[in-house]
Amino acid sequence: MAADSKSKKSPWWTPREVSEGQSAHLTLGPLSMTLGHGVDEWILEVSSSEETALDGNNTRLKVRKGLPDEAGERFVHAGEAERVVLSPMLADRPVVIRPRQPVFLLGGQSITLYLSTPIWLKVEIADPPVLLKEFPVMRLSDTWFGASTREGELCYAGRTHARHKLADLPQRPHRAISPMTIRNETDKPVPLEKISLPVPMLSLYGADDGSLWTQRVTLTLEGGTEQARVKIDSDLPEVARTLERLAGPRMEGGRSGMTWALNLLLGT
């Protein structure tokens, strides 16, 4: 059912040619998008629904004749350009995720959790690429993550749960999986109730089968202080597939390697 875009051919993010009078249709999880090449313009129509269990195998990208019916957004671009590049990107704000049940991480222990965050889609045309639009695959709810209502930052609420085993996490083409290792080097148990994943500092990698990954993030909770050290791996995540780098971090030179206040990463 996903012959167009899975392992046999190429993933949905490889560039396509869309000539005048044709449209590219993409179905990706809850997202359904049509990009039509009109006369001296490009027409973009996007619709997003709720996530369902069928999202795992409905990835489809087809180029067909005909332009979108309803008035989508129109971008004037006169020229012979036919190349269309649809690329995935990570969220533009940190995402707050809760484990399935609250976990106490005892002193000296460490745990690896697998978190998934929805991706953004970037639509570009022509070569060199001209950006048309960048939008999320599904509408995410805002949430506040911080010590109080005066200090903190606006994040997205990840409505899914963090899993302890990779096999437990369903593979969904519109979500990127991030492994996160938390090391408790203090001698007190630390409750893990909600975690803020610093998504803008991560890079996005993709495999041939359409799955999306980010690097591993390691949080080390140091003894004696209310601080945690964040380290973002510069290597590819260790999953049994060949990965290609699709997007760099949105925030260059981020705060990896520096200490963060504990309450900015693990809400209490």
Partner 1 sequence: MFDRLADIIAIEGLLLFGRAIVLVTLGLLLASLCARLTASGLRSRLTPQLLQLARRCVFYAILGVFIAAALAEMGFSIGVIMGAAGVLTVALGFASQTTASNLISGLFLIGERSFEIGDIIRIGDTIGEVLSIDALSVKLRTYDNLYVRIPNETLIKSEVTTLSRFPIRRLDLQLGVAYKEDIAHVREVLMGVADANSLCLDEPAPLFIFTGFGDSALEIQFSVWAKRENFIHLRNGITAEIKVAFDEAGIEIPFPHRSIYTGEVSKPFPIRLVNEAQTASDTDKED
Q: Return the residue of 13, 42, 145, 205 that touches partner 1, per CB under 8 A.
A: 145
Show contacts with partner 1 in window 80-99 (CB under 8 A).
96
Among 224, 221, 233, which Cα is nearest to 259's? 221
d(CA 72, CA 212): 28
Stretch near partner 1 under the rule CB under 8 A, chosen from 85-93, 144-152, 183-191, 225-233: 144-152
Closest by CA to 265, choosing from 230, 235, 213, 236, is 230
**Residue 56 to residue 50: CA distance in whole angstroms:** 13
Cβ closer to partner 1: 118 or 249? 118
Q: CA–CA separation, 205 vs 235, rounded Å?
A: 11
Does the protein bind partner 1 through residue 150 (CB under 8 A)?
A: yes
Query: Where in 13-32 is the site for partner 1 (CB under 8 A)?
Result: none
Which residues are bridge partners to 77 per DSSP?
Answer: none
Residue 147 or 258 with smaller CB distance to partner 1 = 147
Stretch that binds partner 1, among 11-19, 31-39, 150-158, 167-175 (CB under 8 A): 150-158
> How many residues bind partner 1, per CB under 8 A?
15
Using CB under 8 A, which of 126, 130, 140, 207 touches partner 1?
Answer: 140
Report strand pairing: 95-99 vs 153-162.
parallel
- Does 64 help bind partner 1 (rule: CB under 8 A)? no
Contact 67, 38 (CB under 8 A): yes
For residue 144, the minimal CB distance to partner 1 (Å) is: 5
d(CA 226, CA 173): 37
> Which residues form the interface with partner 1 (CB under 8 A)?
96, 139-145, 149-150, 152, 154, 157, 194, 267
